[in-house]
Amino acid sequence: MKRAAILGSTAAVLAFLSAPAHAQFKDALGVSDQTAKDTATSQQRIDQLDDQTARLLNDYRANLKQLEAAKRYNTSLRTNIENQEAEIERLTADIDNVEGLQRAMQPLMEDMANRFGEIVSADMPFLEGERSARAARLQSILSNPSMSAAQRYRLIVEAYQIENEYGRTIGYYEGTIGDGEEALTGEFLRVGRIALMFKTPDDSVLKIYNKSTGEWEDLSKGSYLQDVKFGLRMAKEQTAPDIFFVPVKPPVTAQ
């Protein structure tokens, strides 16, 4: 009986003692679970902060690249602005000198235009109408108020360039020599400025211009007709360039 009573008392004591421990264990489990939840929340927050930091770092690097590009662009713009300012200064100086240049150019252009007419008049009489009209035009542009000095000078230079081309090319054109009943129609062959010849379509007349006398003289058909016909085909670009013969007077030694 005593043993049973002792065992019963012991069980009651253990039951009494285990009740708080169980409660404490439950409390510990609750704390542990809450700690785990708090840890998960903190980790989530840390992950969010880490992602945000990574985004900010990428933005910072991108902004650094944009800043570097902007600096280089500004440097390039600064260089362009400096060059433009220097160009403005140069143009301003040129504008300031325009009036003086125009005063200096006007007499020169007048001399060139007058000299051009003299050259045409003293030269062999080829393309007389065209060249005389060009000389008259140069005289007219000098008094044209609607044209600038630069435009006048360009036209004068172009006229001289055309005359220069005549001296190193061959050419042909159709026209007449003589007046009235003695007028003859045919083809002219110009060889630079050293020879100007004329041939009728039926080859019955062959002449050469004598610059010394200012007259047309007969040219030997037996000696030069085939060369003149070949030269005309060359001038018309009907055959490949080649050598042909024309009569040329020897140079005169100056006294």
**pLDDT tens-digit profile of 112-152?**
999 999 999 889 999 999 999 999 999 998 888 888 888 88
pLDDT at 171: 94
pLDDT at 161: 94
- Residue 224 CA, chain-centre distance (Å), reads 50
CA–CA separation, 203 and 231 (whole Å): 14
Q: Which domain holds residue 201?
A: 170-245
- Same domain assignment for residues 138 and 182: no
- Same domain assignment for residues 194 and 147: no
CA–CA separation, 201 and 229 (whole Å): 10
- Same domain assignment for residues 161 and 224: no
- Same domain assignment for residues 88 and 131: yes
pLDDT, averaged across the chain: 83
Beta strand 184-191 pairing with 170-177:
antiparallel
Q: Is residue 160 part of a domain?
A: yes
Is the pTM higher than 0.95? The answer reads: no
Last residue of a domain, one of 166, 183, 198: 166
- Same domain assignment for residues 88 and 180: no
| Residue 160 near residue 134, CB atoms below 8 Å | no
Last residue of a domain, one of 136, 166, 196: 166
CB atoms within 10 A of CB 165: 10
Which of 22-26, 33-37, 48-52, 230-234 shows the lowest mean pLDDT across its residues?
22-26
